[in-house]
Chain A
Amino acid sequence: MCLKAANDASGKAAGTPILDVREQACRLCEDFPCVNACPTDALRDIEKRTDVDMGLAVINTETCIAMHGMRCEVCYRVCPLIDKAITIDYRLREGDSIHSIFAPIIDEEACVGCGLCVERCVVSEPEVPIKIVRDRAQAIEETKRQQSGENAD
């Protein structure tokens, strides 16, 4: 249900199962029906959720509204691995001693890249502030740049 076939424009071989996570993320179904259904054994070696590796979520701290003090954290609450793959870093709001920021933080060990956070994120403009980066090393690099205050984009 989550997967759809790649078309010629995607850059992948036509028919390869791909996820458009903004449209429909992987549900991390407990019994992985997609693995059983796959006729070519392309989806394999998955027994439990933590075996999945589809990438790593990266948050754009500039455009994420939670980072600016809005009580949002939708990505955190919808995460199938809540409190593991996404946690909340509670921070005092700058210049405001009586309110705090609930900052969602991706755990690079625990996140399997299902993309539900991307599907459900409320912000669309200028772009969705959370994305799945397929290459984990690149994702970690981007996150580090975000945290050091640089805009990855």
Chain B
Amino acid sequence: MVKTVLKDVTRRDFVKATAVAFATAAAAGSLSTMVSCTQDGTSGGTGVSKTFTSVCRFCGCGCGVLCEVANGRLISVTGDPDNQSNKGLNCVKGYYLAKVLYGEDRLTKPLIRDEAATKGSGTGLREASWEEALDLVAEKLKATWKEDKSRLAFWASGQQPIVEGYLLSKFWKAGLLSNNIDPNARLCMASAVVAFMNVFQTDEPAGCYEDLDHADVFITWGANMAEAHPMLYSRLTARKLNDAKVKHFDLGTIKTRTSASADKVLLFKPGTDNAIANCIANYLVSEEKYDAPFVAAHCQFKAGTEDLGNAYEDGWDGTDKLQEATGNNGVWNIEFSEYAEMLSKYTFEYTAELSGCSVADLKQLAEVFADPNAKVMSLWTMGVNQHNRGTWMNHNIYNIHLLSGKIAQPGCGPFSLTGQPTACGTAREVGCFAHRLPADLVVNNPQHRRYTEVLWNLPEGYLGTGDDNPGISKPGKHTIKIFRDLSNGDIDFLWSAHNNWAGSLPNLTRFLGRNTTKTGIFDAFIVVNEVYPTLSTDYADVVLPAAMWIEREGQFGNAERRTAVFEKAVDPPGDAKWDAWIMLQVAQRVLEGETIGTEDSFDLLFGNIWDKEAGDFISDDQREISKIVWEEYRTFTNPDMVKAADDINNDVGDKFGVTADDGTYTPSKLKMFAKQMAPYDEYLDNHGLTWPVREVDGKWLSTKWRFAAGKQADGYDEVGITKYGQKDADGKLISKPGDIDLYKTAKFKASVVFRPYEPPAEEPDAQYPFWFCTGRLLEHWHTASMTGVIPELTRALPAALLDMHPDDCAKLGIADGDMVKVKSRHGEFEIKVSTAGRTEPAPGVVFAPFFDMNSLINLAVHDYYDPLSKEPDYKKTCVSIEKI
């Protein structure tokens, strides 16, 4: 496509338009009138243009934006004042969003690598036709699938729009009967997910962003919200400005820009956060300062397998200990008194000694939870999730909120932040995980498989019935397993989309086949869907150029369960295509001649949207295709739309429940309405809605506070509680407005599971004396494959720096600005040191961000992962530092 440059809008016009916008903002006190910068330094506001509603492409905040398009080109992006998440506010990434489409090296043609030896060299790819590229990909996938399907894998993403993720999940799980599909969300949210399922039997938080407007106390746990969640931190700060009594405790292993505005900073020794949370719990329990009526009504107590070890060896998942920990016997019921006994070790003195925090600070923090009137909001992301005991730390945060009854009320509750725009909406909600199916269903549950079979029109038992017919009844390979296997030569076909694994995975020295005998990456056939060249495309055998962001219609689901649509606003450049088109082209080829039952496999799965003879969608209108797919996906959470599915949902026919010794049968009810989704147009009309979305008097209404009794129109979970809530002997609901009802759990009780402190996978020694913590900074997002093409952001933050404590620098003879080599047991990289203090690590801790592919820090980061979530710990690799 020829790029059109707007000639009729001059720089002077832009200045004028901006100035006018500022003036309007000041004069009218408007909520958002700021014209953001444009992709080419010009602006619309004049001439013929059209505005589309959209969502920012980057982080998990999910800020609404408006996209102004003229002559087929995006000319400006402005914060959407009608989106209640951000009311028109953006961060600097969102401000320059228009430029993200127009980087110079957009991928516009399929590329093929003829010589595998050129992988990683920056050369070796040649242009190809779509026909040649698709035929090659399909041939390789089909060959691996027929030969040994344990040797293929898809690496999906928390940036893949919902419809695309759903189609992918269906193709992989039903079309290929493979569970070897896992998302990059494994690297960021898996620990949160496992804890959600363990504690509440449903994924994603009960609260919402609005809690930020009402809390009395904020606690950030290992989360640099000021940089990683800019808009939400602006909201948190506004709450503090509105009420001087509001306090913020920041807990972490480094001081960050978040610490800079906190009222109290508790720096703890890496990994000891589990002890700190248990210390708070111990105080509440031993001093009887917990919320006894709440605990009696809403909590059950459990303990689980301990002393789990770490994933030093590839076969670790299969050890007896791990099998027990992750199996049905990994958790058992205990009495409250036993829980109290288990906690008793975590006195203030013991915890202070272990963590390095003072007794006084720990007491002050514990008192927050002991105050029955304080509305407390805990917020966390990667410090808690990327943790060798990350699932446990998620548990421990829930434990203290449950003991104190501080949950699922406005301004009060634990809130798990996400890092990607649709980690919730896609990876988690449509099931692009090795163990999941759409809508919280899992592959190893017969009732869940049967429910899915019905909605996908599959014959009974097609997804597996047991050992004789495993189908997809056994979870596939998780992310680290996929890449460890790849490096060992045990994966022959790998496909990825919407991620940059060659930059974002840990232990890249191993996974990229550098300085190691594990060089499987050079032998496997690798396909990468991408929009710009990345380190991953440099290892790809085929690169498929994809439509980016608003070059197609898409849907994101953010951290507060908000689903929002971004409209297709412009065409993709050159031959770049919608990922859904790419995937179905391959699916049509791979499934050719295959049958499910007596039907053609491809037509059965995708015949409602794809015309096989034409080799294309049944319509050019992506809105129409998206709606068809959405309506199909929506049946998962609206079982009444398909009677056969509703029967399974309600266990009609007594097939999935439990029969007691006396012959009484307890049915197994799936409660699929608990995640109810609305019709597609509702999301467009309302600028996004938070699920469960309920139809009340002909209107579709969001739920802001799940499990909270109150009126649906006010954002409470009235419909859910009415349908599934706990009732007394007369059939009347027990909960009153202001109460909660944890109706998704089997006994209406959340699980408080005792989870102890266990040390990190590595600890500093003479050879590797520093903890190395990694993370994100405000200007760049993830591996900067998108933000890196925006010149303003690269100007703002051109390179990663290693933040060190000045005392550590003095000891090593390192000055601010010196280049150093950072070396771990796993690999090494070079980077410039900073003592300026953007982040201020404690002595013995160093920090660097992971966006800079010229300082590839993940070469040194270990790939040891949480035993329960399989999420790697990016925060605690031990390293040496040497001036070069």
Contact = CB atoms under 8 A, between A and B. Distances in A.
Interface of A: 27, 29-31, 62-63, 65, 68-74, 77-83, 88, 90-102, 119-126
Given A69-B34, A83-B260, A125-B11, A99 B838 contact: no
B91 A70 contact: yes
16 contacts: A29-B816, A30-B817, A63-B18, A68-B25, A69-B88, A70-B90, A70-B91, A70-B95, A71-B234, A73-B778, A81-B836, A98-B212, A99-B234, A102-B237, A120-B795, A126-B15
Interface in B16-35: 18-19, 22, 25-26, 29-32, 34
B453 interface: no
B16 to A, nearest CB: 10
Contacts of A92: 238, 241-242
A29 B817 contact: yes
Contact of B89 (A82, A99, A119, A121): A99
A30 B815 contact: yes
A71 B237 contact: no
Contacts of A95: 29-31
B92 A72 contact: yes
A37 B257 CA distance: 36
Interface in B811-848: 815-817, 836-838
A71 B793 contact: no
Contacts of B257: 77
Contacts of A71: 89-92, 230-231, 233-234, 778
Nearest to B14: A125
B41 interface: yes
B837 A99 contact: no
Contacts of B660: none
Given A74-B92, A122-B92, 9 more contacts: A27-B817, A69-B88, A70-B92, A95-B30, A96-B238, A98-B239, A99-B87, A100-B234, A121-B796
B241 A91 contact: yes
B776 interface: no
A64 to B, nearest CB: 11
Nearest to A92: B241
Contact of B815 (A31, A93, A119): A31
B96 interface: yes
A68, A73, A124 pick with most chain B CB within 10 angstroms: A68
A27, A65, A71 pick with most chain B CB within 10 angstroms: A71
Nearest to B33: A68
B75 to A, nearest CB: 15
A70 B78 CA distance: 11
Contacts of B238: 92-93, 96-100
Nearest to B818: A30
A93 B231 CA distance: 12
Nearest to A67: B22
B560 to A, nearest CB: 14
Contacts of A73: 778
B420 interface: no
Contacts of B241: 90-92, 100
Given A83-B260, A94-B29, A97-B238, A122 B792 contact: yes
A81 B838 CA distance: 10
A17 B435 CA distance: 64
A91 B261 CA distance: 12
By Cβ-Cβ distance, the 5 closest A-B pairs, closest first, are A71-B230, A95-B29, A71-B91, A122-B792, A72-B92
A83 B837 CA distance: 9
Contacts of A93: 89, 234, 238
A74 to B, nearest CB: 4
B863 interface: no
B234 to A, nearest CB: 5
